[in-house]
Structure 1
Amino acid sequence: MVKAPVMSLPLRCSIVKMLSRAVTRAATQAPSVVARRGFHATRSRMSSPFHYPEGPRSNIPFNPKSKVFPFLFWGFMGAGFGIPFGIAAWKQSKAPEA
């Protein structure tokens, strides 16, 4: 039967010290990590001479508030959905080549 190795007292104490230091460090750093603002959370400053519009619907290349938009939107969606079915029906209706 193999016995588990017994750790010496200095080794055991150093492991306990190391673990307690790690726990203490993690406990002291946790609030600062949560409270700290990262660079990505900081609002960019308008230091450049160019101004880009901001706000809702400013980053899309069409105007969803126009009267024509619903017809164009559903026409585009219908074509994208219907073209594969139209192609399949056309292929099925052709006479098979022998």
Structure 2
Amino acid sequence: MRLPSTAARRGFHTTRPQFASPYHYPEGPRNNIPFNPLTKFFAVRYWGFMAVGFSAPFLIAVWQTKKNK
């Protein structure tokens, strides 16, 4: 007795993107990110953000260790 394969009968398909939706960005490079990497000081702001985000847990841990009990 052979069971029917449900995966073979399943209709795999994709839906057409709705570009009128506010949740989709227009086509083209760099249009799907929420910031503009072509601004003048983007690299400085980017690396500053990364440095703060990476060092914050370590600085908080040092502060918690050093503060009075």
Tell me, yes or no, whether TM beats 0.5. yes
Partner Cα distance (1:76, 1:60) in 2: 16
Which residue does 1:64 correspond to in 2?
Answer: 37
TM, length-normalised to structure 2: 0.60
Residues 94, 45 of structure 1: alpha-carbon distance in 2 compared, 3 angstrom cutoff: closer
- Alpha-carbon deviation of 1:89? 1.1
Instruction: Tell me the matched-pair count.
Output: 55
**Structure 1 portions without partners, runs of 5+:** 1-37
Partner Cα distance (2:67, 2:34) in 1: 40
Ranked by relative contact order (alpha carbons within 8 Å, sequence separation 6 or more), the top structure is: 2
**Structure 2 portions without partners, runs of 5+:** 1-11
Q: CA RMSD in A?
A: 2.7
Identity of aligned residues (%): 48
Which structure's CA Rg is the greater one? 1
TM, length-normalised to structure 1: 0.44
